[in-house]
Structures are given as C-alpha cells and as structure tokens.
C-alpha cells in the first residue's frame, strides 16, 4: 500500500484513511485468534457523526456488533482493547464471547470517546470484509419448465460435446439450485438477517412495487455465455435471463436493490450493476458439487484458498447452443438465500423474502 494513497474506508457517510498495520500469524486455536497488531489511525478529527451521550461521569457511546467480531476488538491477551483505551483515554466494555449486546465506550473527554468509536468501527469493518459470504439475495429459477430445459441442455451437450476437453457431467449445475444472484451478503447474527428483511421490505415499498406493477416479472432464460475471455479455456458457463416483453425492468429492479444495499453497507460495493446470469456449468463442481464459485475461495480470516480447477473447451458448446432456450418463468420473489444449505425442494434455504404479488 502506498503511504500517500492509502485505502479509504467509508463509515456512516464519512471517509477514513486505513493506515498500514503489521500483521503476524500465530499457531493457536481459533478462539485465541487475533489478527490486529500495531495501530489503526483515523485521518479525520473527531466529529459529530456518532451519538455520544453525556453522563455524570463523562461521555458514553455504544456500538452494536455481532459477537463473532468481538475477538478482533479484544485482541490477543486483550492487547488491542488496551491499546485503544490507552491512546484514547477511554474504557471499553465488550460482551463475553457468544453473548449479544453492545460494546460500550466511556471516557472523560468527548473527543476521546469518538476517537475510540472510530477505531472500533474501522476494525469491525476490516474484519467483516474478511468473513466469507453467508447469504445472498436471489431469484429462484428452478421452476419445472426451466429445470426440464436445463436437463435437456445437459443431455444434448454431453451427447454432442463430451469428447471436448474437460466436458463431463460433473461440471453441470444442480437444476434444483438454479438461481439469479443480486448480491452477496455477510450476515453474522439474527439481528442482521432481520435488518436485511426490513431493507428488502423498504425496497418493495419505495420502488419494487412501481417497477413490477405488483405483478410477477415474466422472463425467459435463453442463450449462453462464458465468464472469461478464452472460449477454449472456460471455467463458468451461464444462461442469460431477460424480460419477455423486451423491457429493462428486471435490470432496473436488481440494480436499484443492489444500490440500496450498498448504500446501507450490507453489501460491499464491487460493481455498479448486476450481471443477470444463471450458472449452468462450473468447473469447481468437478471436485466439489457444493462449491459456490469465486465466493468459496476465502477462509473466515480472509486468507485465499487455492482451488485447483480444470477448465473445459467451450467452443463447440457455444457454437451449437448459443441461443438455447431453457424456458420461461415468472419471478415473483426475492429471497435471502443461505449458502451451503438445502430446503425441502433441493434449493438454497431461504431466511426471508418479499413477494411482488
């Protein structure tokens, strides 16, 4: 990281510099893990962005955070908390591991409380970003017509292209799990799941009803495309999804949902628009039928996991099935889908949803 061009972290509408920190790896049990060594400095002067309560003893501010992240505020042997307390002249009370509650910051000086709060927020944001995705917003695409179309596609591809390098039955999606992803989420508590449900409901009331007209969106799943730039070395092949009436309403709807969730901080901003696609072939399935694409490549500590994968030659598939028609369906619900789970229908388990009609 360049000293003059540090990473910026946005918290509560304000930008903060993230200065370089020194990290060390220790061989120890998970409950002793601490990855914060050194200091986290904030570039801004103390401001009025936080609610700070004046008490007879001084000043007080609280932070709500999932218990899974408490250990990163405490640090190894409590070093991180002690360092923040010493440098900001505050006292920080953190609930015990596994217990939900509030982190409470108290101190004699308002600026010190705000400074400690800022550092804690930066730490929480940093380590939240290192958590693997737990949920995702999605449309289910597993209606009977589309599942049958997918199975026909698989059968024809294997009949005509099985001699092509890397093409076999193991790399096809489970038809019951066909879906369209709007955005990936890190939800670490029931409270955050409920917050996501409420945000979806707000989206419905503020713009989804207007875009959908209070009716399901009639779409078609037709045509195929690949993710990378070499059709002879493909890892992900997907089907395209579009409105039957040729309008842009589906794209507009998912983009506005994405924008709203990015603005709230529930989804980390990576793209400005949703790529409407349904994965039908993925080489990660070859060794792990439950693999979930690129979102499966990081540990809870943010360390990259190398996933060996054998690409396939997709040139004949793209030529023969470029406009393959999988079927039509009505999109009537956005789901909060939980990764690595299965419901009674074989799809991802849903933790909540909104319906258009």
Task: Give 24's pLDDT tier (boundaries 50, 70, 90).
Answer: very low
Q: Which CATH number fits the domain that encloses residue 277?
A: 3.90.1140.10
Span 146-174, mean pLDDT? 97
Q: Are residues 243 and 343 in the same domain?
A: yes
Number of domains in the chain: 2
Assigned domain for 44 exists: no
Domain edge (last residue) among 130, 147, 170: 130
Q: Are residues 70 and 86 in the same domain?
A: yes
Question: Which residues, in sequence order, are CB contacts of 283 under 8 Å at separation 6+?
Answer: 166, 171, 234, 235, 236, 309, 310, 311, 312
State the chain's mean pLDDT as an integer.
Answer: 86
pLDDT at residue 11 in the model: 59
Q: Are residues 139 and 194 in the same domain?
A: yes
Q: Which residue has the higher pLDDT, 21 or 331?
A: 331
Task: Give 45's pLDDT tier (boundaries 50, 70, 90).
Answer: very low
Q: Give 108-142 pLDDT, tens digit per residue.
A: 999 999 999 999 999 999 998 899 999 999 999 99
Assigned domain for 325 exists: yes
Assigned domain for 149 exists: yes
Question: Which residues, in sequence order, are CB contacts of 30 under 8 Å at separation 6+?
Answer: none
- Is 47 a residue whose pLDDT tops 50? yes
Q: Are residues 276 and 350 in the same domain?
A: yes
Q: Which pairing describes strands 179-185 and 277-282: parallel, antiparallel, or unpaired?
A: unpaired
Q: Are residues 96 and 223 in the same domain?
A: no
Partners of 157 in beta bridges: none
DSSP string across 187-245: --SHHHHHHHHHHHHHHIIIIIHHHHTTSPEEEEEEEEEESSS-TTSBSEEEEEEEETT
Containing structural domain, residue 336: 135-355
Span 162-188, mean pLDDT? 96
pLDDT at residue 199 in the model: 97
Cα-Cα end-to-end distance for the chain = 49
- Is 43 a residue whose pLDDT tops 60? no
- Is 279 a residue whose pLDDT tops 60? yes
Question: Which residues, in sequence order, are CB contacts of 118 under 8 Å at separation 6+?
Answer: 11, 16, 42, 44, 46, 50
- Is 253 a residue whose pLDDT tops 70? yes
DSSP string across 270-311: --SS---EEEEEEGGGGT-TT--GGGGSB-TT--B-------
Task: Give 305's pLDDT tier (boundaries 50, 70, 90).
Answer: low
Question: Which residues, in sequence order, are CB contacts of 157 under 8 Å at separation 6+?
Answer: 167, 317, 321
């Amino acid at each position: 990281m360049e000293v003059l061009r540090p990473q910026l972290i946005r918290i509560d509408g304000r930008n903060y510099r993230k200065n370089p920190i020194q990290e060390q790896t220790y061989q120890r049990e998970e409950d002793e893990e601490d990855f914060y060594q050194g200091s986290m400095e904030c570039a801004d002067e103390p401001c009025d962005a936080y609610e700070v309560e004046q008490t007879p003893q001084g000043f007080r501010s609280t932070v709500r955070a999932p218990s899974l992240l408490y250990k990163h505020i405490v640090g190894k042997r409590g070093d991180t908390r002690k360092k923040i307390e010493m440098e900001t002249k505050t006292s920080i009370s953190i609930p015990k591991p596994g217990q939900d509650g509030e982190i409470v910051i108290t101190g004699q000086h308002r600026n010190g409380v705000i400074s400690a709060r800022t550092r804690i927020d930066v730490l929480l944001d940093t380590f939240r970003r290192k958590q693997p995705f737990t949920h995702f917003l999605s449309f289910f695409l597993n209606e009977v017509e589309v599942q049958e179309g997918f199975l026909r596609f698989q059968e024809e591809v294997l009949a005509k292209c099985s001699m092509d390098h890397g093409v076999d039955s193991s790399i096809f999606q489970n038809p019951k799990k066909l879906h369209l992803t709007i955005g990936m989420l890190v939800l670490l508590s029931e409270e955050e799941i409920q917050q996501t449900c409420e945000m979806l409901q707000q989206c419905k009331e503020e713009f989804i009803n207007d875009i959908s007209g209070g009716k399901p969106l009639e779409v078609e799943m037709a045509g195929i495309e690949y993710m990378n730039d070499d059709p002879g070395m493909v890892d992900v092949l997907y089907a395209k999804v579009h409105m039957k009436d040729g309008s842009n309403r589906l794209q507009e709807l998912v983009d506005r949902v994405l924008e709203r969730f990015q603005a709230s901080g529930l989804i980390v901003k990576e793209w400005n628009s949703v790529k409407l696609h349904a994965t039908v072939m993925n080489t990660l399935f070859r060794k792990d039928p439950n693999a979930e694409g690129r979102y499966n490549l990081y540990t809870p500590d943010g360390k990259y996991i190398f996933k060996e994968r054998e690409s396939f030659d997709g040139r004949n598939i793209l030529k023969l099935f470029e406009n393959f028609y999988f079927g039509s369906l009505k999109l009537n619900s956005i789901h909060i889908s939980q990764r690595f789970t299965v419901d009674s229908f074989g799809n991802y388990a849903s933790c909540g949803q909104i319906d258009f009609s």
